[in-house]
Amino acid sequence: MTDITKRFGDVYANRNVCLNIYKGEILSLLGENGSGKTTLMNMLSGIYFPDSGSIEVNGVPVVIKSPKDAFALHIGMIHQHFKLIDVFTAAENVLLGINGKLKDAKDGIKQICDKYGFAVESDKKVYEMSVSEKQTLEIVKVLYRGADILILDEPTAVLTPQETEKLFSVMRAMKADGKSVVIITHKLHEVLDISDRVAVLRKGEYIGDVNTGDTDAQSLSNMMVGRSVSLNIERPIVEKTTTRLKVEHLSVRDNLGVLRLDDVSFDAFGGEILGIAGITGSGQKELLEAIAGLQAAEKRSSIIYMDPKTGMEEQLCGKNPQQIYSMGVGFAFVPEDRLGMGLVGSMDIPDNMLLRSYLDGKSGFVNMKKPKELASQVVDELGVVTPNLKTQVSKLSGGNVQKVLVGREIAGDPALLMTAYAVRGLDINTSMAIYQLLNEQKKKGTAVIYVGEDLDVLLELCDRIMVLCSGRVSGIVDGRAATKEQIGLMMTSIGGTDKND
Amino acid sequence: MDQLISLVQAAIAFGTVIMFGATGEILTEKSGSLNLGVPGIMYLGGIASLASSFAYEQACKSAGTAPSGFLLVVIPMICAFLAAAMGGLLFSFLTVTLRANQNVTGLTLTIFAAGLANLFGGSLNKFAGGVGQIRVAATSTLYRDKFLDFIPLPEVVNKFLFNYGFMVYLAVLIAIAVHLYLNKTTSGMNLRAIGESPATADAAGINVIGHKYLAACMGAGISGLGGLYYVMDYTKGTWANDGTIESLGWLAVALVIFSTWKPVRSIWGSYLFGLVYWIFLYIGLSRRAQEIFRMLPYVVTILVLIFVSMRKRKEDQPPESLGQAYFREDR
């Protein structure tokens, strides 16, 4: 790829990028969120068309106008958000867009599976599949089309460490088969683990490439961010204070009657960060929402909030958010869905600040003075990059949206702070800033609950880690002593033993 | 017995109108386009068939020749299909190419086409000599010819099954054909994939825009045949400005939901709608109670909706991307 430029409106997603991909190598494409990695690869796979620049495959100049052209050139991409039809079977998905017989597809799937050691059931519907099964199917689909260049966009984001290891061995097998594999990621340890060569993008521009053997995490992250960054997450030692939250026998069913949380019990203390690990959908969301009063809990469930000032104990089960709020329970909630549950995207920053406090007013009119003050305070203290306070929140970048939300939630000096995937989609700098904020809360004596997906971060940041496995507590481990493998095992089977197999 | 026979006959005639509408709309919706212009499209089909057959019958009369039976049938059918397909083309252009909101476009299409059809219907009546005077008797007679009546079966069976013009059977055949197309052909599978997730289909190399245009135009054409059947058979080749086509069009949309986007289910679903719609005539009700009974198809649809959403079976859900515009470079 030579001099590739792609613009969206006034924003350059890629600017004069030159990239070579060699046969039989695993290339990592590294960069922060929004650095243009996916855009660049989407131009190879025919989803986007470059504004300028040229592409050569095997030395021949080509024009890739559509995904069909890309297949013809043996380029296949596995997108971050799977491109599968839920109501179709595996075989039907493989056949999609290519005319062929279902029987041939099934035979082909079997051949590919035998070759690389996959397990795909041809007749299984996609909506019945687990995330890693779906990913395997995506890979089979691309291989079935005869891809020689495979592009994987953030493939490990949804996998457990064990599944990731399996994926990596598949990638190595494909490399041994003479295929070129490109992996898009922002996780440094994966880059070092799997790839032969690393190409770094920053703000849409190509920074350079290095052989993986000649580099380390620190220099890669410096290339990625453009200046020296500290990769160490602090874990200040703070004296644990009193219990803030006592959860006992908490069970939650979803509206289909499926048990999402099963007899969960734990305590959260002031002055500590309690991490919650688990495969996506293991009950993390339900847990936080049950505590916040957004989900009804089953009988026998008990959520006791202990007020640090008065020592009063309040039962939160069976109360709705408004009742909890009016009881004066001092907790803050940074939900997973920032612009869906946390903030209103089409409103400006002061209006969003107001959302948390509009019940306080006595008159029927809105007093905008305090929200405005709070908004400018948050913008100043957390360094939110925004043209002005009146900007719609949805127009801000992901990191700045999160800063506005976290800023609002910690402004009331909560006794309990719950965060769900607080750094999802944020770049290293912003993530570090968020960790810093959480640590400050911890030092103030707040009980922090941190639901996370990156095990490395959980292990560095949290004092204790509770691991959930299909709605049950698989165990609570010490963040300083636990290992990634241990937690990974606990994520897939209760207590980390293989008794389910 | 006679009462039952006449109820079934009324139900099947009624059901056929909305079966055409629903089959066409299912084809369109399976591609992810929610075309609420079905009533309008049925109007287009109806008026085009009436105008074309009127023109042909008049031309024959003034030339003094006997009209050809073949042309009497084929001319209005082709005109109805094409006029309705033009409605689908307009809808596709606005929603697929220009990415206008599908709900608004569909509703506007209904209002526009109903007005257009009634304008021409009024003009045709004027040509023919006054309000309610338009009549294409020759064409209508052919459309209503009970061509299967000769089959030697007991009279009762004949009255139940073969007492109809050919469009009744054509509706069933088209519904089955659409079913086979959607479920047994590669192109049909591609179409369903687009309806579920156009981005996925696009990434798989399927021509999303082409399929969406094709589905909307063919679907509208089929819906338009419902208008043709209504004019030629149901009202015996006349035009009334009473808005019945529009209410039938909405019932067709309801039938799409009732049949959970499955053409074969729309066959018996349409007859069921017909039964519950007409049953009031046969159980002796006051006028006021009649109006309540006429709501039944809608009530049934709501019940099905509740039932389907409670069961949450993936296969019974609407196409995932229904109503959403697709743009490849969207981010």
Q: Exposure string (b/e) for B85-116, b if CB count within 10 Å is 16 or more? A: bbbbbbbbebbbeeebebeebbebbbebbbeb
Beta partners for residue B242, in sequence order: none
CB contact under 8 A, A96 and B193: yes
Residue with the bigger pLDDT between A383 and B115: it is B115
Residue A96 CA to residue B52 CA, distance in Å, equals: 42
Whether residues A407 and A423 fall in one domain: no
B37-51 pLDDT, tens digit per residue, is: 999 999 999 999 999
CB B203 within 8 A of CB A69: no
State the 10-residue block means of pLDDT for chain A, 501 residues long: 78 86 91 82 90 90 90 91 90 87 90 87 89 89 91 84 87 91 86 91 88 87 79 82 88 82 90 89 87 86 84 82 79 84 87 79 76 88 82 80 88 87 80 89 90 88 91 90 87 63 36
> Of B200, B202, B317, which is closest to A85 when you measure between CB atoms?
B200
Smallest Cβ–Cβ distance between B329 and the set A48, A68, A92 belongs to A48
Query: Which residues of B fall within a CB distance of 8 Å from A256?
Result: 312
One domain, residues A8 and A66: yes
Cα(A271)–Cα(A308) distance, integer angstroms: 12
Nearest neighbour of A47 by CB, restricted to B189, B203, B315: B203
Closest chain B residue to A145, measured at CA: B204
> Could you identify the residue written with the tokens 């481990």?
A477
The verdict on A454 touching B (C-beta cutoff 8 Å) is no
The DSSP letter of residue A496 is G
Contacts of B34 (CB under 8 A, 6+ apart): B102, B103, B106, B322, B323
Q: Which pLDDT belongs to residue A497?
A: 57
State the first-to-last Cα distance of chain B, in angstroms, to the nearest integer: 63
Nearest to B314 among A84, A87, A100 (CB): A87
Question: Are the Cβ atoms of A95 and B314 closer than 8 angstroms?
Answer: no
A230-268 b/e (C-beta count within 10 Å ≥ 16 → b)? eeebebeebeeeebbbebeebbbbeeeeebbbbebebbb
Yes or no, beta carbons of B189 and A77 under 8 Å apart: no
| Residue A31 forms part of a structural domain | yes
Residues of A in contact with B331 (CB under 8 A): 8
Residue A68 is nearest to which of B193, B200, B205, comparing CB atoms? B205
- Taking CA atoms, what residue in B is nearest to A257? B310
Do A324 and A445 lie in a common domain? yes
Element (H, E) at A388: none
Asked whether residue A337 is domain-assigned, the answer is no
Q: Which residues of chain B are within 8 Å of residue A84 when distances are taken between CB atoms?
A: 197, 200
Rounded to 10°, the helix B166-184/B2-30 angle is 40
* Rounded-to-integer distance, Cα A268 and Cα A447, Å: 6
Give dist(CA A455, CA A156) in Å, integer.
Answer: 12
CATH number assigned to the domain comprising residue A144 = 3.40.50.300
Domain around A27: 2-225
Find the residue in B nearest to A38 (Cα). Answer: B331
Residue A256 and residue A286 in contact, taking contact as beta carbons nearer than 8 Å = no
A99 to chain B, minimum CA–CA distance in Å?
A: 6
Burial A157-193 (b: 16+ CB within 10 A, else e): bbbbbebbbbbbebbeebbeeebbbbbbbbbbebbbe
Q: Is the dihedral of CA A195, A198, A202, A206 positive or negative?
A: negative
| Cβ–Cβ under 8 Å, residues B208 and B194 | yes
Torsions phi, psi of B293, nearest 5?
-65, -30
Secondary-structure percent of chain B, ordered helix, strand, coil, rounded to 5: 75, 0, 25
Across the interface, of B197, B204, B314, the residue whose CB is closest to A97 is: B204
To test the contact with chain B by mutation, choose from A11, A43, A64, A85 the residue with the greatest count of B C-beta atoms within 10 A, namely A85
Q: Read off φ and ψ for residue A97, nearest 5 degrees.
A: 85, -10
Q: Which of B182, B183, B186 to mutate to test the interface with A (most CBs of A within 10 A)?
A: B186
Match 């009970």 to its residue by tokens.
B146
Query: How far away is chain A from the Cα of B206, in angstroms, using its nearest Cα?
Result: 5
How many residue pairs bridge chain A and chain B with CB atoms within 8 Å of each other?
69
Query: Is A102 at the interface with chain B, CB within 8 A?
Result: no
- pTM of the shown model: 0.78
Domain final position from A412, A438, A472: A412
Are residues A378 and A480 located together in one domain of the fold? no
Q: Predicted ipTM?
A: 0.82
Q: H or E element: which one contains A197? A: strand A197-202
Residue A501 placed within a domain = no
| Secondary structure letter of residue A27 according to DSSP | E
Domain boundary among the residues A412, A437, A452 is at: A412
Determine contact: A64 vs chain B, CB below 8 A. no
**Which of the listed residues A378, A412, A446 is the one where a domain comes to its end?**
A412
Decide if A231 is inside a domain. no
pLDDT exceeds 90 at position B172: yes
For residue A501, the model assigns a pLDDT of 36
Q: Say if residue A144 is in the same domain as residue A246.
A: no
**Which three-class secondary structure state does DSSP give residue A28?**
strand
Residue A380 domain flag: yes
- The C-alpha atoms of residue B3 and residue B292 are separated, in whole angstroms, by 21
A371 touches B: beta carbon within 8 Å? no
Cβ of residue A325 closer than 8 Å to a chain B Cβ: no
Q: Per the CB < 8 Å rule, is B190 touching A97?
A: yes
Mutate to test the interface with B, among A41, A73, A96 (most CBs of B within 10 A): A96
Percentage with pLDDT > 90 across chain B: 60
**Dihedral-angle region of residue A423 (phi above 0 means left; psi in -120 to 50 means alpha; beta otherwise):** alpha
- Residues of chain B with Cβ-Cβ distance to A102 below 8 Å are none
Whether residues A88 and B202 touch (CB distance < 8 A) is answered with no
Judge: B206–A125 Cβ closer than 8 Å, yes or no.
no
Residue type, A164: T
Scanning every residue of chain A, which has its alpha carbon at the shortest distance from the alpha carbon of B319?
Answer: A87
Best mutation target, B260, B328, B330, to test chain A (most A CBs within 10 A): B328
Sheet of A313-315: strand order equals A259-269, A243-253, A302-306, A313-315
How far is B273 from A364, CA to CA, in rounded Å? 51
- pLDDT above 90 for B132: no
Pick the CATH number of B2-330 from 3.40.50, 3.30.1490, 1.10.3470, 1.20.950: 1.10.3470
Answer yes or no: is A339 within a domain.
no
- Count Cβ atoms below 10 Å from residue A217 Cβ, excluding itself: 12
Residue A86 has its nearest CB partner, among B202, B312, B314, at B314
Dig out the tokens for B328 from the structure. 């490849």
User: What does the pLDDT read at residue A500?
Assistant: 41
For tokens 């306080």, name the residue: A360
Q: Give the pLDDT confidence of B237-263 residue by residue, as tens digits.
A: 888 878 889 989 999 999 999 899 999
Chain A hits for B196, Cβ within 8 Å? 85-88
User: Is A249 near chain B, with CB under 8 Å?
Assistant: no
Flag if B203 and A83 touch (Cβ within 8 Å). Answer: yes
Cα of B17 to nearest chain A Cα, Å: 31
Q: Which residue of B has its CA nearest to A127?
A: B314
Please tell me whether residues A157 and A40 are part of one structural domain. yes
Of the residues A40, A68, A87, A124, the best mutation for testing chain B's interface (the one with the most B CB atoms within 10 Å of its CB) is: A87
Q: At what angle do helices A161-176 and A484-492 cross, to 10 degrees?
A: 100
pLDDT at B170 over 90: yes
A8 inside 8 A of chain B by CB: yes
Pair (A137, A24) in one structural domain: yes
Chain A: residue whose CA lies nearest to B196: A85
Q: How many of the other CB atoms lie within 10 Å of CB of B322? A: 17
Closest-CA residue of chain A to B204: A97
Q: At what angle do helices A428-443 and A217-225 cross, to 10 degrees?
A: 110
Q: How far apart, in whole angstroms, are the C-alpha atoms of residue A276 and residue A471?
A: 12
Average pLDDT, chain B: 90
What DSSP assignment string belongs to A433-487? Answer: HHHHHHHHHHHTT-EEEEE-S-HHHHHHH-SEEEEEETTEEEEEEETTT--HHHH
Out of A68, A71, A85, name the one closest to residue B197 (CB).
A85
Task: Give the tokens for residue A114.
Answer: 């035998």
How many domains does chain A divide into?
3
Q: Say what the pLDDT of residue A7 is.
A: 79
CB-based contact B190 A98, cutoff 8 Å: no
Chain B: which residues have CB within 8 Å of chain A?
A: 186, 189-190, 192-193, 196-197, 199-206, 312, 314-315, 317, 320, 328-329, 331
- Shortest alpha-carbon distance between residue B29 and chain A (Å): 16
3-state secondary structure of A142: helix
Examine residue A103 and state whether it is found in any structural domain, yes or no: yes
Nearest residue, CB atoms, B315 vs list A83, A85, A87: A87
The answer on A301 and A449 residing in a single domain is yes
Nearest CA in chain B to A101: B186
Neighbouring CB atoms inside 10 A of A114's CB total 9
B189 interaction partners in chain A (CB closer than 8 Å): 88, 92, 95-96
User: Chain B contacts of A96, Cβ < 8 Å?
Assistant: 189-190, 193, 200-201, 204, 206
